[in-house]
Amino acid sequence: MSSADRLKSSRLDAQTFLRVLGGAMTFQTFDDTPSKRGALSRVLYGDLSIRSAQLAQLNQKGAGVFVMVNEGDGKGRKSENVTRVRACFADLDGAPLQPVLDCRLRPHIVIETSAGKYHAYWLCNDLPLADFKPMQHAIAQRFGADRSVNDLARVMRLPGFLHNKREPFRTFIFQQHDGPRYSHSELVAEFRSSMDIEPVRVKRRPLSEIIPEGERNNTLFSLARGLVQKGYDAQAINHRLQQINAKRCNPPMCASEVDSITANASAYGSDGFAMLPHVLLDSPDWRTLPPATQAIIVFAYRRYNGNNNGNIALTWIDFAGREGFSQNIRSTDIASAPCKRTSLLRRRWGATRKPAENLTCSPSHQNGFRRLRQCQEMHPAPVSKTMTPI
């Protein structure tokens, strides 16, 4: 390839990268050489077609050419100037590239910034500004990338220009994937296991009566993840999300989109633990409870999050489809209907509040539930805890 062809290819790389990012651009130049000349430091705004000659001139003088990955307001290059997250990215800084290429969520662009060193970009369309830093940490943790690359106003090298540290190296697009941008829910589902989890107690907020466009995806995904943590299977989660979508989302999303949210939220399962007190597990009452009755207690403790004072509500759907449990619809059927070894009755209760579902047992299992109630009365609160992975 001739020098003219290389220059043309370099310009195309820069144009391609900026076109894929989309929106308004904020450019930054710094002196790449040890001289660190302040005259080469510039912040420039506008299209590449307007700034290309100036950027090329600065680059030839030894400046590195960078672009702010996230979209800005054209008034500065600080976090408060960022208006939209366009991509999450990783500066591998010598870490191996292959794990990135093998990622289930393929990076949209990989840039070789110097010999054997790469930057990888995952384009996104609805990542909240507040979630950008945790997501950057998660990606860096997954691939062994530079963890300091996490600020909203971060600039990265623009492909097609020379990297002037040591021997000049013309950066270029190593690989490109033309798939659609990833949603917030897809990114969280993929990188959640690497995200920093802080045990912070949060006050539960009631679900809005109307979930407007722009909040639907994130709201439903958050609800789905909460249900995963509580042990619901994908079918039960999807059933609930479809109902909420139909009743509260304005406008409702396609059913297939809700299916996708459920699948993403369920993909990695729960990462929590059920905490059971030793005094409960060691008690004679516990040992004599039938397995299905023990399952009810385990489900109840799984719902305990440290904030609900032990007030746990279990619904029929918590047990639907599980071996040993069946559903009776009317209390009048209990006496005559044939029951499995353990049956649950769905009943409405509450004279002064919105009806809710309560669980009782069939006559064939009344003795076991009596022991359950006695066991709960004897051991109402955790004393010494054991951790049971779920």
* CB-CB contact of 180 with 87 (8 Å): no
Q: Which residue has the higher pLDDT, 291 or 211?
A: 211
In tens, the pLDDT along 366-379 reads 343 344 444 444 44
Looking from the CA of 288 toward its CB, the CA atoms found within 13 Å total 12
In tens, the pLDDT along 9-61 reads 568 999 999 999 999 999 999 899 888 898 999 999 999 999 999 999 999 99
By C-alpha distance, which of 42, 63, 84, 54 is closest to 157?
63
In tens, the pLDDT along 251-304 reads 998 888 888 888 877 775 666 666 677 777 888 877 887 777 777 777 777 766
pLDDT (average), residues 329-335: 31
Place of tokens 């997250």: 85
d(Cα 336, Cα 343) in Å, to the nearest integer? 13
Q: What six digits make up the tokens of 150?
A: 């996490």
Give phi and psi for 187, each to the nearest 5.
-65, -45
CATH of 3-191, one of 3.30.70.1790, 3.40.109.10, 3.40.50.300, 2.30.30.60: 3.30.70.1790
* CB-CB contact of 218 with 185 (8 Å): yes
pLDDT (average), residues 202-227: 78
Q: What is the SS3 assignment for 155?
A: strand
In tens, the pLDDT along 115-173 reads 999 999 999 998 999 999 999 999 999 999 988 899 999 999 999 999 998 889 999 99
* CB-CB contact of 164 with 155 (8 Å): no
pTM across the whole model:
0.52
Give phi and psi for 200, each to the nearest 5.
-100, 130
